[in-house]
Structure 1
Amino acid sequence: MYPKLSRRFRALMIDSLVLVAVVAFSIAIGTSVDFTNGVYQSVLVLVPIFLFEPVLVSVTGGNIGHHLMGIRIRKSGSDNKINIVQAVIRTFLKLLLGVPSLIAILTSKKHQAVHDLLSMSLVVVKDPASLPSYEVLDERTELQGYQYPGKIRRLMVTVTYLILSLLAISMITIFLVSDLCAYRQVCSNTEDTIQIFLGLAFWVLVFVLPWVGWSGRLYGARKVRLEG
């Protein structure tokens, strides 16, 4: 059983606050130790920050946010916890990709984010009986009676749409927003409104297009109803 995106997002918010505390603690410890070589001091500050999550995930099966939200991380295809190497890869990818990585949860079969898929991990509910039924999801299945394009094709078409959308928003920005506003942030009220609208449009497209594309609804990779 898999958690809803909203539960994973809440876990992410909790872990972000925990990470801020870890960063503050690491900086306090690093600056309190008088090293003659600044490299050692940097290592003392950075190592706890980058190893905190991987160690916690590989040893306990999740971050603090995961445990508070009643979910855990395990290997894909196994009920075992992921190892430290997988945990490091997963953490690095999550930091690199950010919140957009979670978009894949809306479309992937096992509700995996991009960093889950690439690190071969799953996020599952610890005890499905402890949560309301609407908070627990089954494995996603494709609609019966339809033939879906291949996964690679759907992925490539979706990425193409995202790139074209970004180019379209960029072109609209070039035509409607002055250089003074774009480069020096000296904008009129109209230009501020346009930038806010285009920013919102971009994020809506970033979240909607992957879901629409994976469900076979984009031209170029549409599902086909089977006869009979």
Structure 2
Amino acid sequence: MTITLITGANKGLGFEAARQLIAAGHTVYAAARDAGRGQAAADRLGARFVPLDVTDDDSVKAAAEFVRADSGRLDVLVNNAGIAGTGKVGERIGEITGAELATTLDTNVAGPVRVTNAFLPLLRLSDAPVVVNVSSGLGSMAVCADPSRIESHVTNVDYNASKTALVMVTAQYAKAFPGIRFNAVDPGYTATDLNGNSGPQTVEEGAEILVRMAMIGGDGPTGGFFDRHGTVAW
């Protein structure tokens, strides 16, 4: 049985990825910072709820201890939790403050680092450990420079920078821990609360790459950046 933990699993892509992985036979820990919403989501999914705030060291450590006591190991970690940031785009970029940028980076970059570090001992107990970091096409310099892509029309500092940094974090962990498959994914422009449900993709379509990379096993790629169509240039 594959034991999987997904952060931000109470809604959107995290919830849908949990649903699909449970259907595929995974035991899923649905992690969320809001206990009420998280427990309700886990009940709907048939998952196990874990309270986890990715910005709080004590919360992250407690979640890892809970999984250790409950299952003894972790096979798959999906770092999905994230925030949209300030939403300051275009001519408003000059208004973003250092504190606002730091808040976004703390959740979207430091958050996955905190969670990954806390769960590394449990991942090392797996026969085929996998970590999936949810980035974005907005984190790819190549994609954002391609006029044929919708991402090239989005000018944003904090969210985009955080998702670029997360890809680099992924690449560095992949080099440092060759026994664990680390990959970043771009779900694509998916209708979720993060973007006011404006994306053209359904959550089923967006979660597909999260699920696929969560199931790659020990022989899968590592240190890469992927979307549902293949490798993402970055």
Q: TM-score, normalised by structure 1?
A: 0.24
Higher helix share: 1
Q: TM-score, normalised by structure 2?
A: 0.24
Higher strand share: 2
